[in-house]
Structure 1
Amino acid sequence: MRKQILLILTVAMLPMLGQAQELNARVSINASRISSQTDKKVFSTLQNTITSFLNNRKWTNETFQANEKINCNFLLDIGEAQPGNIYKAVITVQAARPVFNSTYETPLINFRDEVVAFRYVEFQPFEFNDNRVAGSDPLVSNLSATFAYYVYIILGLDFNSFALRGGDPYFQKAQNIVNNAPENRDIAGWKAFDGLRNRYWLVENLVNNRYNSIHDAMYSYYRLGMDNMYENENEARNAVLNTLNMLNSLNNDIGNTMIIPFFLQGKSQELIRIFKKATPEERQKARDILMKIDITNANTYKSELK
């Protein structure tokens, strides 16, 4: 069990808890931009189908207790309907994990994937097979493959946050999906040439040995930093600052990576709260690095971490 290192469970609690699947996933579908001629009931059915797919499928060989499920959200925003029951959508994926000794949850992923095309007819099977990712109809398979891919990314990030390189098996499963992804002229996001911030590059950065330090950074941030924040705040803050130093070194060595902005997405306010209590020297170090590696939020760091 991946979280035993936290010693969350006591002997007295164990009889009360049974096995559970890995995810506590909430799925929302927004079809407000689709023509009123489209039967919107189709999307309610799809939403329930995806929710069941995510929460009821066994994704790992690990035993998860009910309180260990990973909280995650998936928003499928459908922007276009085409003939043949084909839809173009954007998917936003969010997941968090609890911080030891607190009720606070720290973000694992907050990512917006803007190129999801799929075919769906109400009540059609929603299936995924690791050994046959492309299925018989690429556009039908593309949606389940995309969701499965993000499940494995979430699992990898979660396991990484509790044990150094603990997420490797799940990143490999995500890479398997990329390598065998459905192909169609309307499908994008699985190839290197589809852009610089897509499914291909995310998992490439997570499995490529050139980016090994990102795994050290994840473990340092979550396990050594956030999990210690309520017992030894100064030591935990040093671990987070060490994480920023590792990210800065990676950024200096390999510019324009996807993994650094991906890791920092959704963490700006968390980082500001951590370093507002730091010494002036630590605060300045953190501010200087963050303004460099998280350009989107540079002005916020500049004003908040004076």
Structure 2
Amino acid sequence: MYKQLFVCFFLFVFTNVKAQELNCNVTVNADQIQVSNNQIFKTLENSLTEFMNQTQWTSVAFKDHEKIKCAVTILLTEQKSTNTFTGTLQVQASRPVFNSAYYSPLLNYKDNSFSFQYTEFQPINYNPNGFESNLVSVMSYYAYLILGMYVDTFSLEGGSPYLNNALTIANQSQQSGYLGWENSKGNITRFTLIDQMLATVNEPYRKLVYQYHFDIMDVFERNQKSAASRMIQLLLPLEKMYDENPNSFMIRIFMDAKSDEIVNIFKNNSAVDTSELISVLKRVSSTNSKKWRQIDSL
């Protein structure tokens, strides 16, 4: 009952009041670049932190302790010209678990196609009506991706409006000439990621993500063994999703965020029979085989 009241309150607040939504820690690492003025990178870091945390992305209101915890780590690897930089972007986000101090990871994604132009002290502002700069578009895209994924864990496909905003940004940016926005078969780009997330064929995945958090993680502290058993039944259909759509990036995105959490859950509930689950996990996420062996050895 308390959980339902909490979610109803969450959804009411999320749709009726205007305020900033993110608690985003932005880090700019430029150790690989030799420049005469390193202060430009600290200025950029401060500007992006302000941009992510003070932009009003939606009609949402959280108190400071309720804002969505996320982090963006920019690793600059090359300076192409005076104001043109390339590097990578690591984006992480988490979601509070009901009635606990634990935060469950939602996203842990590395974007390897990040380049932008920046002049110190230039204004960084989001324009929903068109492409302004790649720096603004990339950061805005990830703000909406985080928001959409977050709301999806409280309401089945409730994050669609924010995911659609990310898709709009991707579409607007495709003509910019910057890498990372292209529709590339077989590769994860910002466009293919959001396009697949919203695709009808991946609706079972979004339902699984919702049930994982709302039906299992949010009640985990009440009865861990029962919750762990139900998690097995929830995750087994990943094999069918994989068989029906082996080119989907969604399982990879899910496992990049959740693999450590899944391991820890079953290591702490070793009495639960995980043999069938391990077989599925090894098949659908073979890159995490070493992690799955930690469960298999219990």
Cα-to-partner distance string for 1:39-98 (whole Å, 9 max, x where unaligned): 110011111100000111111112223322001111010000012411001010011111
Query: Could you tell me which amino acid in structure 1 is paired with residue 71 of structure 2?
Result: N
- Give the match for residue 204 of structure 2: 213
Q: For residues 54 and 178 of structure 1, what CA distance do their matches in structure 2 show?
A: 18
Q: For residues 180 and 37 of structure 2, what CA distance do their matches in structure 1 show?
A: 28
Is contact 2:71-2:92 (8 Å) kept?
yes
Relative to structure 1, is the Cα distance of residues 184 and 131 closer, same or farther in structure 2, using a 3 angstrom cutoff? Answer: closer
Query: Which residue of 217, 227, 239 maps to 2:218?
Result: 227
Q: Which runs of 5+ in 1 are unaligned?
A: 10-17, 136-140
Q: How does 1:88-237 map to 2 (within 5 A)?
A: 88-132=86-130, 134-135=131-132, 141-181=133-173, 183-185=175-177, 187-193=178-184, 196-237=187-228
- Give the match for residue 6 of structure 2: 6
Is contact 2:18-2:61 (8 Å) kept?
yes
TM-score, normalization: structure 2?
A: 0.90
Measure how far apart 1:304 and its partner are: 3.0
Measure how far apart 1:247 and its partner are: 2.1
Is contact 1:160-1:218 (8 Å) kept?
yes
Structure 1 SS opposite 2:173: coil
Measure how far apart 1:38 and its partner are: 3.8
Q: For residues 272 and 7 of structure 2, what CA distance do their matches in structure 1 show?
A: 35
Report the aligned-residue RMSD: 2.2
Select between 175-184 and 122-131 the one with higher mean Cα deviation.
175-184
Q: For residues 64 and 218 of structure 2, what CA distance do their matches in structure 1 show?
A: 20
Relative to structure 1, is the Cα distance of residues 278 and 76 closer, same or farther in structure 2, using a 3 angstrom cutoff? Answer: same
Structure 1 SS opposite 2:222: coil
Is contact 2:78-2:87 (8 Å) kept?
yes
Structure 2 SS opposite 1:252: helix
Matching of residue 27 in structure 1 with residue 30 in structure 2: no
Query: Could you tell me which amino acid in structure 1 is paired with residue 72 of structure 2?
Result: F
Select between 149-158 and 225-234 the one with higher mean Cα deviation.
225-234
Measure how far apart 1:257 and its partner are: 1.4
Q: For residues 284 and 19 of structure 1, what CA distance do their matches in structure 2 show?
A: 48
Query: Which residue of 258, 261, 264 maps to 1:267?
Result: 258
Relative to structure 1, is the Cα distance of residues 197 and 45 closer, same or farther in structure 2, using a 3 angstrom cutoff? Answer: same
Indicate the percent of aligned positions where both proteins have the same amino acid: 32
Q: For residues 183 and 267 of structure 1, what CA distance do their matches in structure 2 show?
A: 34
Q: Which runs of 5+ in 2 are unaligned?
A: 10-16
Q: For residues 257 and 147 of structure 1, what CA distance do their matches in structure 2 show?
A: 24
Query: Could you tell me which amino acid in structure 2 is paired with residue 155 of structure 1?
Result: L
Query: Could you tell me which amino acid in structure 2 is paired with residue 40 of structure 1?
Result: N
Is contact 2:174-2:182 (8 Å) kept?
no
Query: Could you tell me which amino acid in structure 2 is paired with residue 223 of structure 1?
Result: F
Measure how far apart 1:7 and its partner are: 6.1
Q: For residues 165 and 97 of structure 1, what CA distance do their matches in structure 2 show?
A: 16
- Give the match for residue 301 of structure 1: 292
Select between 290-299 and 241-250 the one with higher mean Cα deviation.
241-250
Structure 2 SS opposite 1:166: coil
Select between 228-237 and 95-104 the one with higher mean Cα deviation.
228-237
Moved over 4 A (4+): none
Q: How does 1:76-95 map to 2 (within 5 A)?
A: 76-95=74-93
Query: Could you tell me which amino acid in structure 2 is paired with residue 6 of structure 1?
Result: F
Structure 2 SS opposite 1:125: coil
Cα-to-partner distance string for 1:151-178 (whole Å, 9 max, x where unaligned): 1110011101111111111110010011
Q: For residues 198 and 272 of structure 2, what CA distance do their matches in structure 1 show?
A: 37
Measure how far apart 1:20 and its partner are: 4.9
Matching of residue 292 in structure 1 with residue 295 in structure 2: no
Structure 2 SS opposite 1:196: coil
Query: Could you tell me which amino acid in structure 2 is paired with residue 44 of structure 1?
Result: K
Is contact 2:20-2:60 (8 Å) kept?
no
Aligned residues: 288
Q: For residues 239 and 61 of structure 1, what CA distance do their matches in structure 2 show?
A: 35
Structure 1 SS opposite 2:187: coil
Structure 2 SS opposite 1:24: strand
Measure how far apart 1:208 and its partner are: 0.7
Is contact 1:171-1:203 (8 Å) kept?
yes
TM-score, normalization: structure 1?
A: 0.88
Structure 2 SS opposite 1:130: coil
Select between 229-238 and 76-85 the one with higher mean Cα deviation.
229-238
